[in-house]
Structure 1
């Protein structure tokens, strides 16, 4: 089974786009994929896949209720099929209150002489929901901010993919990647595996080549380097569809550089699958 979450110290580097595009590539390869939107503010992954869902409905069952042990229904009822092979657990406004709710549950358990691990609740929910028996891939999308939400994701999936902005600003965070992973491990008490670092927005300038060389010298896995594909990604967001669907249905002609980008995301997905021991069939764009 392949499980991971995309993390980055910086915002706007393509975390959600990477998660969603890889999810579609996994599904196109014939794998069953579960994506979980734990974005406490934007619910970007839910928006990306565009299900008919009201994240503000206080009456609907949602992932937060399951995390604090107060579900209104079965785990399977949380999921929405958004594309063939992809089930989504959507974001909900209650996620904004999740850190406080988890702390309250912990304090109440301690008063009763019980234990309650704030960071192991998503792991518990996925285990009790028999996710391992029903899915090949699990991807969790969070806002990326350190705290109980991100730590729950990490304890549940144990692996990270790190989208990386190939700019001078991004270069400042290169030296912070080791610190980021070490900090996550110390906060959660688990070993966090880095499956891939994914440079995004690459234009092959001299400065970018130096940044990429430095990144590889740090021995981080860099299976693909994604170019500047702003129009492709923005178009996909606007149409609320994957880049694969956008190129197929919303472009009047195929652009070779966009086809190449989709092939790169396929290469990334195949690399991640191989690391988990999953079969990696060929996928044609």
Structure 2
């Protein structure tokens, strides 16, 4: 089983579009894919894939209720089937208060003399729902900043993919993520691996070439390098779909460089699948 979270401390590097594109690529290869949206922002997987639901209704079942042990239904009932059969657990406004909810649960457990880890609750929910038995791939799109949502995501998946802006600022985000992951490993006793670094918006400048070389020399896996694709990604957000659907349904003229970008994301998805021994079943042309 392949599990990971696209993570970056820097904003605007394409974390959510990377998650969405890879989720669809995995599904097109015949894998059963679960995507979980833990991002509290409106510009998230839930918006991009566009399922019909009310993210502001506190009375309906949502992932936060499951995290604090007060579900109104099964985990499977939370999922919405979106592009190419990807199952999506959408975001909900209650995620904004998840820290307070989890602290309350921790306080109650301690008063009863019980142990309680705030960062293992998503892992518990996924295990109880037998997600490992039902899906080949699980991708969690979480908030970039440190906190209970990101920590729950990392404990649940144990692996990250880093969308990366090949600039000095981007280099700082890589260093910061190393510190973040190291701190999490120390505090919750889990190992978190970096499956791949994905340079996005690459323009092939000398400075960018030097940064890529430094990344590879540091031992990071850099399977693909994505060029500047602002128009494609903006179109995806406008039409609320992945790049695959956008090019197929909303481009009157196919652009070779955009088709090449899809090929690169497919290459990245196959690389990630190979890391855990997932075999490609059938890629949709």
The aligned counterpart of 1:236 is 236
Tell me how far 1:177 sits from its aligned partner: 4.2
Which digits, 9 at most, give the CA deviation of each residue in 1:107-127, with x for residues without a partner?
011101122211110011001
The aligned counterpart of 2:103 is 103
Q: What is the TM-score with the length of structure 1 in the denominator?
A: 0.97
Identify if the C-alpha distance between structure 1 residues 4 and 185 changes in structure 2 by more than 3 Å, giving closer, same or farther. Answer: same
Aligned pairs, number = 285
Aligned positions of 1:1-285 closer than 5 A: 1-42=1-42, 44-281=44-281, 283=283, 285=285
CA distance in 1, matches of 2:154, 2:3: 10
CA contact (8 A) 2:8 2:173 kept: no
After superposition, the CA RMSD in angstroms is 1.3
Please identify runs of 4+ aligned residues in structure 1 that moved more than 4 A.
Answer: none
Tell me how far 1:281 sits from its aligned partner: 4.5
Secondary structure of 2:196's counterpart equals strand
Secondary structure of 1:280's counterpart equals coil
Secondary structure of 1:13's counterpart equals coil
CA distance in 2, matches of 1:266, 1:184: 30
Q: What is the TM-score with the length of structure 2 in the denominator?
A: 0.97
Tell me how far 1:186 sits from its aligned partner: 2.1
Which digits, 9 at most, give the CA deviation of each residue in 1:196-247, with x for residues without a partner?
0001100111111111111111110101100000000110110001100111
CA distance in 2, matches of 1:178, 1:74: 36
Which digits, 9 at most, give the CA deviation of each residue in 1:40-84, with x for residues without a partner?
233601001001111001111000000000001111111111123
Secondary structure of 1:160's counterpart equals strand
Unaligned runs of 5+ in 1: none
